[in-house]
Amino acid sequence: MTAAAQPRVLIIGAGMSGLLMGIRLLQSGNTNFRIFEKAPKAGGTWRENTYPNLACDVFAVAYTYSFEPNPDWNYRFARGDEIQKYFERCERKYGLAPFISYSTAVTEARWEKDHWEILTASGERDRGDVLVSAAGALHHPNYPDIPGLREFAGPCFHTARWDHTVDLRGKRVGVIGTGSTASQVVPGIVDKVAEVHLFQRTPQWVMPTPDRKVSQAERARRHRFPWLLRLQHRLGLFLMEIFSRGVLGNRLLLRYLEAGCRANLRAIRDPELRRKLTPDYPAACKRLVISEDFAAAIQRDNAHLVTERIERIEPGGVRTGDGHLHELDVLVLATGFAPYKLDFEVIGAGGRRLAERMAGSPLMYRTVGVPGFPNYFVLFGPYSPIGNMSIIENSEVQANYVLQCIELIGRGVLRSMNPREDVALALKEDMRRQIRNTVWAGGCNSWYLDGNGEAVVYPFQYAHFRRELRAPLLADFETT
Ligand code: NAP
């Protein structure tokens, strides 16, 4: 064990959760930590995603740390670049820079009897009492396994690797995928390109939530009356809790959600296009798409919805099952992410590999721990309430819990805490039973599902989550 009063904490990732963990540590008086960030700057998903029309579909007033409200959002749904600036501002304001090692990729973290050893890509080693993975849930682009993908003659890139050197003006652009990302990209490019061809495998429910610019007067009011902003923050979270009740099984709320999406579909004038865009699974089974402008964009004369199965990609475009070649100049892969994948190896007690523990159906302890991995904590990992709650609020609850564990170590109450496997398995069984009552078990395919086709989401009400993580229950751990 290193410094007793201030256990040394190693944090991987300087996105929303990693910065939060750093801020919480500083607020608790612990300066004995280091954040490893493989990129040259902070921001996580908001640094990596820069595609046209990128915005957050959570009310901006609710998309902040609770202790750092932002009166300056320019839109009801904040744009990607302003969110990135918000996190960079937090990094500066809370003085985190000296604690962050930028451009430093962790390749391996290994538990060595009573501490964690970290190895970086440059061969540097560090050690700490506690390891916090804040590496992000949707970080690794999913490149589709479509024959011929590499043969495409024009520029081809994933939405999370947007190539801004490619001028889309006057081009024929193909977009594969119809998730939240594609539904933002298509309205973002349709005015600029000659044609956009949207390749849809499965239709999505789309909820139109009106966006608008925030007036100068309203921003001034938010500055002048901080209580107003706090109230709006609470209200935004409250609306998400209502949404959460729907996805967790409240049929009335689900019907209401679906009715909103159906009303949006009625705005599609062409019955054939409307039919193609109508899903055959319950609304919110896949992550609900929130978009005010997708319906209008896909009805533009230069927009084409393609529902024929993609057979292969050829140098000149996309060949569909009906034999038609959709000729394209640029191909955009809006095909989502491999969720929860890590770029580093985590090796726990007895040489156990985290990747093996997470393969198929992951085993987590109360969303933050993993049996066999002492003093290892995950923020925003599998089974977190990611499909139903504000991810920032989620990470705050988790970070506060982790902080309490760190403080137990600092006070000398224990040196290491390893979640008991039997406890984690029993909790997992409870979750699996409950998941069957949620909309995620509605028969659709989505990134919420694990390798066995089961949803790895948090199936209980948010109050239950807060209660579970209010304080560590020592009886749930093997401790030294
Ligand atoms: P996604 O929801 O996983 O959607 C991926 C899309 O690609 C789906 O339409 C999928 O079709 C399609 N696809 C995947 N592989 C394919 C293949 N081989 N051939 C044809 N189509 C294929 O990914 P995403 O849109 O990037 O969104 C991921 C998550 O990021 C969202 O659920 C959300 O949590 C988050 N996000 C949030 C915001 C926000 O505003 N807060 C914005 C963007 C993204 P199938 O449906 O048939 O599988």
| C-beta of residue 247 within 8 angstroms of C-beta of residue 440 | yes
Confidence of residue 166 (pLDDT cuts 50, 70, 90): very high
Same domain, 54 and 185: no
> Tens digits of per-residue pLDDT, 327-343?
999 999 999 999 999 99
- Integer Cα distance of 127 and 123 in angstroms: 13
> Tens digits of per-residue pLDDT, 300-329?
999 999 999 999 999 999 999 999 999 999
| CB proximity list for 104: less than 8 A, separation 6 or greater | 36, 37, 38, 120, 121, 122, 124
> Tens digits of per-residue pLDDT, 343-386?
999 999 999 999 999 998 999 999 999 999 999 999 999 999 98
| Two structure tokens written together for 466 | 């807060």
Q: Is the pLDDT of residue 4 over 70?
A: no
pLDDT at 2: 45
Q: How many angstroms is it from 403 CA to the middle of ligand 1? A: 33
CATH number, position 24: 3.50.50.60
Give the rounded distance of the alpha carbon of 195 from its chain centre.
30
The response to whether residue 202 sits with its C-beta less than 6 Å from ligand 1 reads yes
Same domain, 120 and 257: no
The response to whether residue 201 sits with its C-beta less than 6 Å from ligand 1 reads yes
Count of domains in the chain?
A: 2
Give the rounded distance of the alpha carbon of 429 from its chain centre.
24
The response to whether residue 291 sits with its C-beta less than 6 Å from ligand 1 reads no
pLDDT at 249: 86
Confidence of residue 410 (pLDDT cuts 50, 70, 90): very high
The response to whether residue 84 sits with its C-beta less than 6 Å from ligand 1 reads no
Q: How many angstroms is it from 77 CA to the middle of ligand 1? A: 19
Confidence of residue 451 (pLDDT cuts 50, 70, 90): confident
pLDDT at 5: 82
Same domain, 53 and 188: no
pLDDT at 211: 92
- Integer Cα distance of 103 and 230 in angstroms: 35
Q: Which of 160-174, 237-251, 452-466 has the highest mean pLDDT?
A: 160-174
Same domain, 326 and 255: yes
Same domain, 464 and 412: yes
Q: How many angstroms is it from 207 CA to the middle of ligand 1? A: 16
Q: Is the pLDDT of residue 119 over 70?
A: yes
| Two structure tokens written together for 167 | 């001028």
The response to whether residue 53 sits with its C-beta less than 6 Å from ligand 1 reads no
Note down the domain range covering 321.
Answer: 142-213+218-336
Same domain, 135 and 153: no
Q: Is the pLDDT of residue 430 over 70?
A: yes
Confidence of residue 1 (pLDDT cuts 50, 70, 90): very low
Q: Is the pLDDT of residue 387 over 80?
A: no
- Integer Cα distance of 336 and 141 in angstroms: 6
What is the 3-state secondary structure of the chain? CCCCCCCCEEEECCCHHHHHHHHHHHHCCCCCEEEECCCCCCCCHHHHCCCCCCECCCCHHHCCCCCCCCCCCCECCCEHHHHHHHHHHHHHHCCCHHHEECCCCEEEEEEECCEEEEEECCCCEEEECEEEECCCCCCEECCCCCCCHHHCCCCEEEHHHCCCCCCCCCCEEEEECCCHHHHHHHHHHCCCCCEEEEECCCCCCEECCCCCECCHHHHHHHHHCHHHHHHHHHHHHHHHHHHHHHHCCCHHHHHHHHHHHHHHHHCCCCHHHHHHCCCCCCCCCCCCEECCCHHHHHCCCCEEEECCCEEEEECCEEEECCCCEEECCEEEECCCEECCCCCCEEECHHHCEHHHHHCCCCCCECCCECCCCCCEEECCCCCCCCCCCCHHHHHHHHHHHHHHHHHHHHCCCCCCEEECHHHHHHHHHHHHHHHCCCHHHCCCCCCCECCCCCECCCCCCHHHHHHHCCCCCHHHEEEC
Name the residue among 262, 257, 261, 259 with its Cα closest to residue 246.
257
**pLDDT-above-70 percentage for the chain:** 99
Mean pLDDT score across all residues of the chain: 95
> Tens digits of per-residue pLDDT, 18-31?
999 999 999 999 99
Confidence of residue 192 (pLDDT cuts 50, 70, 90): very high
Q: How many angstroms is it from 189 CA to the middle of ligand 1? A: 18
Same domain, 230 and 263: yes
Confidence of residue 388 (pLDDT cuts 50, 70, 90): confident
| C-beta of residue 478 within 8 angstroms of C-beta of residue 371 | no
Same domain, 417 and 432: yes
pLDDT at 172: 98
The response to whether residue 45 sits with its C-beta less than 6 Å from ligand 1 reads no
**pLDDT-above-90 percentage for the chain:** 92
Tell me the average pLDDT across 33-57: 97
Q: How many angstroms is it from 179 CA to the middle of ligand 1? A: 4
For atom 6 of ligand 1, the residue with the nearest CA is: 177
Confidence of residue 33 (pLDDT cuts 50, 70, 90): very high
| Two structure tokens written together for 117 | 């050893």
The response to whether residue 138 sits with its C-beta less than 6 Å from ligand 1 reads yes
| C-beta of residue 306 within 8 angstroms of C-beta of residue 200 | yes
Name the residue among 397, 411, 390 with its Cα closest to residue 471.
397
Same domain, 81 and 150: no
The response to whether residue 50 sits with its C-beta less than 6 Å from ligand 1 reads no
Point out the domain boundary residue: 284, 304, 336: 336
| C-beta of residue 291 within 8 angstroms of C-beta of residue 208 | yes
Confidence of residue 390 (pLDDT cuts 50, 70, 90): confident
Same domain, 298 and 183: yes
Tell me the average pLDDT across 161-176: 98
pLDDT at 3: 45
162: number of Cβ within 10 Å? 17
Same domain, 268 and 174: yes
Point out the domain boundary residue: 336, 352, 384: 336
Helix axes 226-247, 251-266, angle to 10 degrees: 100
242: number of Cβ within 10 Å? 12
The response to whether residue 336 sits with its C-beta less than 6 Å from ligand 1 reads yes
Q: Is the pLDDT of residue 262 over 80?
A: yes
pLDDT at 203: 97
Q: How many angstroms is it from 337 CA to the middle of ligand 1? A: 7
| C-beta of residue 373 within 8 angstroms of C-beta of residue 462 | no
Same domain, 226 and 326: yes
Name the residue among 38, 329, 78, 47 with its Cα closest to residue 162.
47
Point out the domain boundary residue: 336, 354, 385: 336
> Tens digits of per-residue pLDDT, 287-299?
999 999 999 999 9
Least confident segment among 83-92, 162-171, 212-221, 248-257: 248-257
Q: How many angstroms is it from 396 CA to the middle of ligand 1? A: 26
Kindly report the pTM of this predicted structure.
0.95
Least confident segment among 5-9, 58-62, 80-84, 440-444: 440-444
